[in-house]
Amino acid sequence: MREDDIRQIMDIENESFSTPWTEAAFLAEIHKPYSLSRVLMIGDRLVGYLCMNLILDEGHILNLAVYPDFRRRGLATRLINEALTELKKKGCRFIYLEVRGSNTVAKQFYLQFGFRDAGLRKKYYTSPVEDAVLMMRQL
Ligand SMILES: CC(C)(COP(=O)(O)OP(=O)(O)OC[C@H]1O[C@@H](n2cnc3c(N)ncnc32)[C@H](O)[C@@H]1OP(=O)(O)O)[C@@H](O)C(=O)NCCC(=O)NCCS
């Protein structure tokens, strides 16, 4: 992920979340030394992205989205598989993520990749206020 990807990322982000990240949030993310942020391109078109952090042996998936017209074609599968391979190579042993309790599609997606419920973070989200399901997978 590079700075000049952010304009296309924002189109997907705004379509995908009720509380989208801002451009500034993506910019800050790219420049963190422990960030591993990746985009998926089809030709010149950015169709998906994944932001994760790796600190010591603990990975954290912070954001993942695919452009609505391109969903259900295995693109997020491609992003997550590459992320898991990269994290493992870099010594990651545990991966965490939060997902809205009502986001059944994302929960189903992560279950398929071996993530399991590891707890709740009460009132983690705003607009609307909602608990996060914490999911975890060992590598
Ligand atoms: C979650 C998301 C990234 C999945 O992207 P995708 O490219 O459509 O996912 P894939 O095509 O790789 O799907 C892989 C598996 O996830 C599950 N899945 C994906 N979309 C699903 C849906 N609409 N309903 C049920 N299961 C679904 C299925 O198990 C699917 O496997 P299958 O197609 O063989 O049945 C996408 O729906 C998205 O961008 N959602 C909005 C943003 C979001 O909620 N991100 C997660 C925040 S934590």
Residue 69 has a pLDDT of 96
Residue 108 has a pLDDT of 98
Residue 52 has a pLDDT of 98
Residue 64 has a pLDDT of 98
- Does the beta carbon of 119 sit less than 6 angstroms from any atom of ligand 1? no
**97 neighbors 115 (Cβ within 8 angstroms):** yes
Cis peptide before 128 (omega within 30 of 0): yes
pTM for this predicted structure: 0.97
Residue 29 has a pLDDT of 97
Residue 67 annotated to the active site: no
Residues 8-23: pLDDT tens digits? 999 999 999 999 999 9
Give buried/exposed letters for 95-133 (b at 16+ CB in 10 A, else e): bbbbbbeebeebbebbeeeebeeeeeeeebbeeeebbbb
Residue 104 has a pLDDT of 98
What is the best residue among 46, 72, 102, 103 to mutate for testing ligand 1's pocket, by most ligand atoms within 8 Å of CB?
72
Residues 30-81: pLDDT tens digits? 999 999 999 999 999 999 999 999 999 999 999 999 999 999 999 999 999 9
**Which structural domain range is residue 52 located in?**
3-138
Q: What is the number of structural domains in the chain?
A: 1
Given 98, 124, 125, 130, the catalytic residue: 98
What is the best residue among 105, 115, 125, 135 to mutate for testing ligand 1's pocket, by most ligand atoms within 8 Å of CB?
105
- Atom 29 (ligand 1): residue with closest C-alpha? 109
- Does the beta carbon of 105 sit less than 6 angstroms from any atom of ligand 1? yes
Residues 88-118: pLDDT tens digits? 999 999 999 999 999 999 999 999 999 999 9
Whichever domain contains 23, its CATH number is 3.40.630.30
